[in-house]
A and B are shown apart, each in its own frame.
Chain A
Amino acid sequence: MLLRLLFPSWAFFDAVTDVPRLEVRSWPTRVAPDVWWPVLTAPARGVRHLLYNPEGTEHLALQALVDRFAVECETGDNHTVTAALLTRLAARALEAPDHGPHTANRVAGDTWSWQWRVGAASTPREADTVGDFRVLYESDVMALCPGQAHTGPR
């Protein structure tokens, strides 16, 4: 870590590559799985964020974690720890009050399932076009218990 800090690579913004994205979905177990939605969205910025931007710093750190996982998946490196960290991140996103389309429709007594995945989204070369999404990893389906989502896979 010391050497990485003292001699960074400095190869900023070189080639255009696919951008890793963490997605999550949750659904009542009795119905079909819901659509995937992205966990990380860039926070809004104002003038003060030119100097002080904790939300942006957090967002970049979390995105770097997703990037690292994508690299580990593609190179075949051991990604057990990173996967566990991403499970925490995805579970935490599910705890947010506005986390997904089904949140407001919860029925008492329903059991819920959830799942996360990481994919690589290609950056479109032309304006107003949509890039492809290639799935790199899909987690096991986990049971979602109220207040216990953060405990990870069981």
Chain B
Amino acid sequence: MNNDAVFEDAVRMVQCLAAVAMFVVGLEWQALQRRGTLNAVWSADLLREEWGWRRVLMAPATTRVIPLMQLLLAAVLLLAAWLEVRPSTVSAVAAGGLAATLWHTAVRVRSTMNGGSDGMLFVVLLALAVATVPVAQALRHGALLFVAAQLVMSYLRAGWVKAREHDWWTGHALRSFLSIPAYGVPRWLPQAPVLLRTASFGVLLFELAAPVALVSPAAAVAYAAVAWCFHFATAVVFGLNRFLLAWSAALPSLWFAAHLLQARRH
């Protein structure tokens, strides 16, 4: 396969998975608005001053529309991927609009709603907006490479900061994280010291090995498969469902990056 064909396939995969992720984000935001806690706590009357010029965008009426916009734009993004329209201004506008809704939510709650998963989805959507628009091919490729770079960085940096902590090599750190009540870790999870040490070592190895994914397209696919299992496990253990969705959407970029690097070498 040539680079352009691989690029188009990778973009299509990223687009489909990002659309699914944003569909879930929209549904969750809708449910949260019905529950009322977030709007009651992050009350507009307390935050209006802090919003400054953005207060027009943060009006309750706008906030109510955000989940509907997310559902609509996610459907457009999915449909555009399905119809394989390339390059597509419609896809670019939908992806850009979805990224803007994530920014809106982050300003609304003064931080990310779901930690790094919002960041990764934002990166993916912004890159999609560039990768699907009819501009120079190099720029479109660059956008997807940016996702791959952020993806590798997300594992490498997470692995590096863990590797510097002695407690991660002994299994104590993992045991402590599993005991944090905020994560509601299932009681059935076995936590024998030898298991925790092995799992800790596995996490460190997996995260620090991220650059290996760029060695070849086969290595990228193998690493992506392990990564997906890793995120599935964190969703089961820590309840981080949005991390599974966001990283799933970003993973196909690894395949394109590995393919491009291999083509450059030959």
Contact = CB atoms under 8 A, between A and B. Distances in A.
A53 B80 CA distance: 27
Contacts of B161: 11-12, 14-15
A4 B112 CA distance: 9
Interface stretch (A26-34, A83-91, A106-114): A83-91
A101 interface: no
Interface string B108-119: 011111111011
A54 B32 contact: yes
Contacts of B245: 51
Nearest to B170: A125
A144 to B, nearest CB: 17
A99 interface: no
A13 B35 contact: no
Contact of A92 (B40, B118, B182): B40
Interface in B80-95: none
A8 interface: yes
Nearest to A86: B41
B114 A57 contact: yes
Contacts of A81: 46-47, 50, 110
A10 B150 CA distance: 9
B191 interface: yes
Contact of A40 (B35, B42, B153, B182): B182
A26 B27 CA distance: 35
B38 A61 contact: yes
Contact size range, A? 35 or more
Contact of A84 (B28, B46, B173, B180): B46
A11 B50 CA distance: 27
Most chain A beta carbons < 10 A, residue from B41, B102, B111, B122: B41
Contacts of A140: none
B241 A125 contact: no
15 contacts: A1-B107, A6-B122, A11-B158, A16-B177, A52-B28, A53-B28, A53-B239, A65-B41, A85-B41, A85-B42, A88-B41, A124-B179, A125-B176, A127-B175, A127-B191
The 5 closest A-B pairs by CB, nearest first: A42-B184, A8-B119, A14-B161, A54-B31, A123-B176
Interface of B: 24, 27-28, 31-32, 35, 37-38, 40-43, 46-47, 50, 102-103, 106-107, 109-116, 118-120, 122-123, 126, 153-154, 157-158, 161-162, 164-165, 167, 172-173, 175-177, 179-184, 186, 191, 232, 235-236, 239, 241-242, 244-245
